[in-house]
Structure 1
Amino acid sequence: MRKSVVTKIVALACSLIMCAAVAGCSSDSSSSSDSSKSSDASSSKNQIAGVTATGKLGEKPTISFNAPMTVSDGSYVVLQKGDGDVIEDGDRVCAQGIALNVKDGTELMDTWTKNTPDCSLKVSSSTLNSTYYGQIKGAKLNTTIAFGVNDQNSSGYSYILAMTLVSKSKDLEKATGEEVKDIPANLPKVTRAKDGKPSIDMNGQGSVDSLISQTLIKGSGKKLTDTNTAVVKYSGWLTDGTQFDSSWTKNTTIDADLYSGGQHTVTAGWQKGLIGQTVGSQVLLVIPPDQAYGSSGQGSIPGNSTLVFVIDILAAY
């Protein structure tokens, strides 16, 4: 099926709530400290004028403005001040959104109708550009903020993205749950530092032809399905014990897309091995080459490599 321009806009907006979750997605990539030096005149210039919202807090608002109008990237206006808990650094925020074409006022997308909020927003100056970070941090839940998106390069549309901040949570720092006792003796042995960072003894682990997915710590949180994105920390090794990657050394997490109908951000081995696991769990994956990087390999990973991962599942959305 041919993807229409509107479909592209919906995909763009839904992946952002859409754009806010990726640092540098907007042309405004300066730090919050740089932003604080801006003059009152500059701040006023970034305000979107003439946009209003009506409706009950925490429910889909009615957004009104006189079309056509113009918006610039980095522009915003608070349409409704919320009445819920204050959003703080480190919170994961779920937001409902509406995108409206500024040329004619038509609604391009909304997440309210199917109740599919975007929960990819991690409130941090390192993950949000200064505009989004400055408006979301310190806001109360049920606040609605309109952001201007001038997307001439991708969709050909400029639009207002009205985000309502509907809930918040905290990601785990490491796997938390019950240690699994009946782990097969022939698998790699995993130990953990106090902060949760894993180390591994390969215990003679060689190449495999089929996926091994072994829970090491059983978390009590949400069970992952093929509609989820898992927020994880991980380390990966070759079977000779060479570590080729670790989010622990970078002090970062990744969002692993498990969606069966989409383009995965992870290998088939990750997708198959993580579905059915629960938030809070630590999982050992031993992945055959055909579910990893195949005969071509990737970066420092040689072709036809069996890969070993230890993955902590910290959140899911």
Structure 2
Amino acid sequence: MRLRPFAALSAAAVSVVLLAGCSGLGGGNTSASPSATDAAAVDLCDAQAPAGAASDAVTVSGDAGAAPTVAFTSPLDVSELQATVVSEGSGTPITAGDFVSYAMTAYDADSGEEIGQIGYEPGQLMPTQISADSPLGQVLGCGAPGERVVAAFPASESSAAQVYVVDLLSIVPSAAWGEEQAPVEGMPTVALADNGAPTITLPGGDAPTETQVAVLKKGDGYTVQTGDQVLVQYTGVRWSNGETFDSTWDKGGVPTSFSTTGVVTGFQKALEGQTVGSQVLVVMPPAEGYGEGEINSTDLKGETLVFVVDILGAQQATPTSTE
């Protein structure tokens, strides 16, 4: 028995028991693409599945954000997706396009047995971008952080009927939120726009011959480890002329995700050992970037590169969880 994958997560980065399988609501990929933010006008309140006899039959105790105590009479007859709000959240409601952090515990609707739980500890689940047509959006609706929902899923071709308790933990900011740190002398300087987008100013002199990393903001979250998936915003400039060659901020300000081992060495050094919520400045020579060669306008060979990276979320390469 497996949990339905609310988030589009790499098979190498999640627990096979907890997050493999098919959602039964149009596929497992529930992370919205940048174009999905065009659907921000869609009211998530209207997207939330209605309560029903199955979801209403589940008794839940405990506070949102911690593993719940659940009771229901099994087998539970689940004919369609149902969602019952157990406790309301507080603060700003979520809207389509937001990235959210959440936790969930799943049960077999036929036997009543717990299948597993995940997300209650830092680093277990990547923040997910929510949309009105995703399973997570249809469960949480336009709830606010602290909301707890019982969701009853009918059986699909690949999974038996299941019951979830889903907690909305937080709305993830689009820029690093950590405590500002003192600048490092001799490194590039960074100015931030109101939305958090950085402008990088290079110092005079020769480019460094070794990778340099400085923390601009120190976050208070999970510490990124080798092989973890990360959710980041970034801007990269060429040392040779100061021109920006790539930036998530220039692509709608939508964060992107990847493994720390799936990027060049200098970028990897900027991520691993840092905490979620941090903003990191890294200067990397060609050897730890895109390789030695003659600097040109078509690729990044020979370039010393400068990145400002906002670390917004992370998921352990092998999440710890219960089964």
Bin of the TM-score, shorter chain as denominator length: 0.5 to 0.7
Count of aligned residue pairs for this structure pair: 276
Residues 126-141 of structure 1: pairs in structure 2 closer than 5 A? 129-139=133-143, 141=147
Distance in 1 between the 2:44 and 2:147 partners?
23
The superposition leaves residues 242-267 of structure 1 with CA deviations (integer Å, 9 ceiling, x where unpaired) of 32211112221124545xxxxx4544
CA contact (8 A) 1:279 1:313 kept: yes
Residues 199-238 of structure 1: pairs in structure 2 closer than 5 A? 199-203=199-203, 210-215=210-215, 217-222=216-221, 224-226=223-225, 229-238=229-238
Distance in 2 between the 1:159 and 1:94 partners?
23
CA contact (8 A) 2:123 2:222 kept: no
Gaps of 5+ in 2: 1-10, 34-38, 316-323
Distance in 1 between the 2:73 and 2:263 partners?
41
CA contact (8 A) 1:77 1:147 kept: yes
Q: Which residue does the alignment assign to 2:308?
A: 310
Task: Describe the shift of the 1:120–1:163 C-alpha distance in structure 2 as closer, same or farther (beyond 3 A).
Answer: farther
Distance in 1 between the 2:263 and 2:152 partners?
32
Shifted more, 83-92 versus 201-210: the winner is 201-210
Q: Which residue does the alignment assign to 1:61?
A: 70
Distance in 2 between the 1:167 and 1:63 partners?
22
CA contact (8 A) 2:106 2:117 kept: yes
CA contact (8 A) 1:172 1:315 kept: no
CA contact (8 A) 2:126 2:230 kept: no
The superposition leaves residues 249-299 of structure 1 with CA deviations (integer Å, 9 ceiling, x where unpaired) of 2221124545xxxxx454443332223334443211123445444579xxx
CA contact (8 A) 1:149 1:159 kept: yes
CA contact (8 A) 1:99 1:159 kept: no
Structure 1 length normalisation: TM-score? 0.63
AA aligned to 2:236 is G
The superposition leaves residues 1-39 of structure 1 with CA deviations (integer Å, 9 ceiling, x where unpaired) of xx9xxx745442699xx9475138xxxxx888499999x
Task: Describe the shift of the 1:244–1:144 C-alpha distance in structure 2 as closer, same or farther (beyond 3 A).
Answer: same
**Corresponding residue SS for 1:61:** strand
**Corresponding residue SS for 1:88:** coil
Q: Which residue does the alignment assign to 1:261?
A: none
| Structure having greater relative contact order (Cα 8 Å, sep ≥ 6) | 2
CA contact (8 A) 1:219 1:280 kept: yes
Q: Which residue does the alignment assign to 1:76?
A: 81
The superposition leaves residues 294-316 of structure 1 with CA deviations (integer Å, 9 ceiling, x where unpaired) of 579xxx64445443211123455
Distance in 2 between the 1:290 and 1:161 partners?
50
1:274 aligned onto 2:283 = no
Task: Describe the shift of the 1:255–1:82 C-alpha distance in structure 2 as closer, same or farther (beyond 3 A).
Answer: farther
Structure 2 length normalisation: TM-score? 0.62
Distance in 2 between the 1:159 and 1:272 partners?
43
Instruction: Tell me how far 1:145 sits from its aligned partner.
Output: 1.3
1:283 aligned onto 2:287 = no
**Identity, % of aligned positions:** 23
AA aligned to 2:309 is I
> Which of 88, 93, 110 is 1:88 aligned to?
93
Residues 164-179 of structure 1: pairs in structure 2 closer than 5 A? 164-176=165-177, 177-179=179-181
**Corresponding residue SS for 2:273:** coil
AA aligned to 1:191 is A
